[in-house]
Chains A and B, each alone.
Chain A
Amino acid sequence: QVQLQESGPGLVEPSGTLSLTCAVSGYSISSGHWWSWVRQPPGKGLEWIGEIDYSGSPIYSPSLKSRLTISVDKSKNQFSLNLSSVTAADTAVYYCARQGTYTSDYWGQGILVTVSS
């Protein structure tokens, strides 16, 4: 069974960098698929952030591209998200997911990240 687990700081200061990691178990990232990040501000809808394939090629949301880096560490079977220059608008629950056929078939439980001083 494929499982994903997000980890990282729950509080980030404004203008700082939000860094999260998604650990994958039950499936080897090196075997394929794309791996994505989605976020959900409190009380609001889902927003696609970006994704990366097993070879390390990322695709970013145009609205976040200038601040975003997604990377993969096949040796640790995990992938990561770095979002720079954060503001309160970046406060959200961040989910990682596995991309099946143009769909997110397995999701992590999510992690709440609050941007505040």
Chain B
Amino acid sequence: QSALTQPPSASGSPGQSVTISCTGTISDVGGYNYVSWYQQHPGKAPKLMIYEVSKRPSGVPDRFSGSKSGNTASLTVSGLQAEDEADYYCSSYAGSTYVFGTGTKVTVL
């Protein structure tokens, strides 16, 4: 059960958009519509931002959106703000277990 592949880093200026990919296999990302995205600030617990590929929990800004195509899921942050600078992790159900992505550090320039 290998970790899902994410780019190590992504960046954008305030107001711009950034998209993070999360690549798995048919056994996880491609096989289920149960991809989640978590935001983690330094020294803090992860925070759920997206679940079931594209659903936002209450309180998460609509600047955050998710999608999936085949074995790759994506998180897009539109209208980047300074507080969006954080690590982002994807996660997928893998048939009774779960697997996390390798993580992406988003920098707001």
Task: List residues of A whose CB falls within 8 A of some B CB.
Answer: 36, 38, 45-48, 59, 61-63, 95, 100-105, 107-110
Contact = CB atoms under 8 A, between A and B. Distances in A.
Contacts of B1: 61-63
A45 B102 contact: yes
A48 to B, nearest CB: 4
By DSSP majority rule, is chain A's interface helix, strand, loop, or mixed? Answer: loop
B46 interface: yes
Interface residues of B, number: 24
B70 interface: no
A46 B52 contact: no
Contacts of A61: 1, 97
B48 to A, nearest CB: 5
A84 B45 CA distance: 25
Interface string B38-52: 100000011110011
6 contacts: A46-B38, A48-B99, A62-B97, A63-B1, A100-B51, A104-B91
Contacts of B96: 59
A103 B52 contact: yes
B89 interface: yes
A95 B98 CA distance: 15
A104 B46 contact: yes
B32 to A, nearest CB: 7
B40 to A, nearest CB: 8
A48 B98 contact: yes
Contact of B89 (A46, A63, A107): A46
